[in-house]
């Protein structure tokens, strides 16, 4: 059971054990219901006690004197009890609301930049409804931009390949940075060839090089499920001389838990180095548990990424919480400080009283001595 209180200054307090506050009136109940504690003291017997009573006309009875605390002692007692009970209720100060984010997937986009990506065989529809022919790379950039905006909570990476493969963007949750680096890509910046196997191998290496990571909570520790590892490979040709064959790279990816979706762009009837090896593309996807798609135009390319979005739904979750900090130890420290202060005051008063008594005794003794000498 927890209760929250907002005071005038806007500070939010929450008591972990609010039922403990029921102990606050306990001293009042004890004061009224339980009699005062009594102690017996040693007395001196005198043989003429009855004579004194007869002379005074008194009847003997039991007597007692009850100590009465001073006003400041009462204040300290009441304040100390209140502070101890509140400390027992364990007050918690609530901090500013924090957002806890749970990331789901690492998605590596592997983009072909071979010379054939400059072919203008894709038609793009503008915002005003006009159609224009664009290169395969421009079409891929447009579709990837739309795809990235739907991947909230995922971390995206970007690998470019041609004659060789290299990392353009490591995994990041900052989609604006990722999109900016995607726009900087250009045809043949990685060479004219299509080293597909090397690109897949690099993607697996990037996943494998990262330590085992778990979902992330902002302002908190890790959560208890691993990230999913997904690669999306977009190419418009067959492998042309990779050090690692695409099929072998796919087997390694499967062993490392990397799922690969393959997207083939362009005309499958093309021959030569630019021909699509659909058999290899389909086998790579099948081995790793992914899917393969073929896009002959802009619509099919968008549909391919829509299907991947359905196959890899978002795992992002966001919750709001308020951090708590207990302050009960401060209350106990205040009680200790109050008692130390009271003890110090009483000790000083006793010391002053004893010195005054000693001084008065010294003065009286001196007066008596002078009187005897006078006599």
What are 164's two structure tokens?
């060789």
Same domain, 274 and 329: no
Mean pLDDT score, 23-44? 78
Amino acid 111: pLDDT: 92
Same domain, 91 and 183: no
Q: At what angle do helices 71-88 and 26-33 cross, to 10 degrees?
A: 130
Amino acid 367: pLDDT: 57
Where does the pLDDT of residue 8 fall: very low under 50, low under 70, confident under 90, or very high at 90 and above?
very low
Where does the pLDDT of residue 314 fall: very low under 50, low under 70, confident under 90, or very high at 90 and above?
low
Same domain, 219 and 268: yes
What length is written for the chain?
375
Where does the pLDDT of residue 100 fall: very low under 50, low under 70, confident under 90, or very high at 90 and above?
low
Same domain, 210 and 175: yes
Q: Is there a domain that residue 291 lies in?
A: yes
Closest CA to 234 of 336, 105, 122, 326: 122
Mean pLDDT score, 90-114? 80
Q: How far is CA 315 from the centre of its chain?
A: 18
Number of domains comprising the chain = 2
What are 143's two structure tokens?
């579709």
Neighbours of 192 (CB within 10 A): 14
Same domain, 81 and 167: no
Same domain, 129 and 272: yes
35 or 195: whose pLDDT is higher? Answer: 195
Same domain, 159 and 301: yes
Amino acid 283: pLDDT: 92
Mean pLDDT score, 216-224? 41
Q: How far apart are CA 15 and CA 1, in angstroms?
A: 8
Tell me if residue 89 falls in helix, strand or coil: coil
Cβ burial of 302 (10 Å; 0-12, 13-18, 19+) is: middle
What are 220's two structure tokens?
């908190």
Percent of the chain whose predicted confidence (pLDDT) is above 70: 77
Amino acid 143: pLDDT: 87
The DSSP bridge partners found for residue 106 are 155, 229
Q: How far apart are CA 137 and CA 118, in angstroms?
A: 7
Cα end-to-end distance, the chain, whole Å: 85
What mean pLDDT is reported for the chain? Answer: 79
Report if pTM > 0.95.
no
Same domain, 233 and 169: yes
Same domain, 22 and 79: yes
Q: Is there a domain that residue 367 lies in?
A: no
Is it the case that residue 202 has pLDDT exceeding 50?
Answer: yes
Q: How far apart are CA 207 and CA 214, in angstroms?
A: 13
Range of the domain at 336: 1-33+69-96+322-361
Q: Is there a domain that residue 52 lies in?
A: no
Q: How far apart are CA 290 and CA 230, in angstroms?
A: 9
């Amino acid at each position: 059971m927890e209760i929250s209180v907002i005071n005038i200054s806007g500070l939010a307090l929450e008591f972990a054990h609010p039922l403990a506050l029921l102990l606050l009136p306990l001293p009042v109940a004890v004061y009224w219901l339980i009699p005062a504690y009594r102690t017996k003291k040693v007395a001196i017997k005198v043989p003429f006690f009855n004579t004194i009573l007869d002379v005074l006309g008194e009847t003997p009875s039991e007597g007692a004197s009850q100590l009465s605390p001073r006003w400041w002692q009462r204040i300290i007692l009441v304040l100390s009890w209140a502070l101890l009970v509140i400390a027992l209720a364990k007050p918690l100060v609530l901090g500013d609301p924090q957002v806890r984010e749970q990331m789901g997937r690492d998605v590596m986009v592997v983009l072909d930049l071979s010379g054939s990506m400059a072919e203008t065989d894709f038609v793009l529809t503008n915002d005003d409804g006009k159609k224009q022919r664009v290169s395969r790379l421009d079409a891929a950039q447009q579709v990837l931009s739309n795809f990235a905006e739907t991947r909230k909570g995922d971390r995206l990476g970007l690998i470019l390949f041609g004659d060789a493969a290299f990392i353009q963007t490591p995994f990041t949750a900052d989609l604006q940075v990722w999109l900016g680096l995607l726009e900087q890509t250009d045809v043949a910046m990685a060479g004219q060839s299509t080293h597909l196997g090397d690109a897949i191998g690099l993607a697996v290496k990037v996943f494998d090089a990262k330590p085992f990571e778990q979902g992330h909570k902002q302002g908190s520790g890790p959560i208890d499920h691993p990230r999913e590892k997904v690669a999306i490979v977009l190419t418009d040709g067959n492998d042309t001389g990779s050090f690692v064959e695409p099929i072998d790279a796919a087997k390694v990816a499967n062993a490392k838990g990397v799922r690969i979706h393959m997207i083939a762009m362009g005309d499958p009837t093309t021959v030569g180095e630019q021909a699509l090896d659909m058999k290899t593309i389909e086998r790579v996807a099948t081995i790793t548990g992914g899917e393969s798609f073929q896009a002959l135009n802009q619509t099919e390319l968008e549909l391919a990424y829509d299907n991947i979005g359905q196959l890899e739904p978002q795992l992002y979750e966001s919750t709001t919480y308020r951090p708590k900090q207990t302050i009960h130890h401060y209350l106990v420290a205040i009680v200790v400080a109050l008692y130390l202060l009271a003890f110090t005051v009483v000790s000083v008063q006793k010391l002053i009283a004893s010195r005054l008594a000693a001084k008065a005794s010294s003065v009286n003794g001196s007066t008596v001595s002078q009187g005897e000498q006078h006599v």
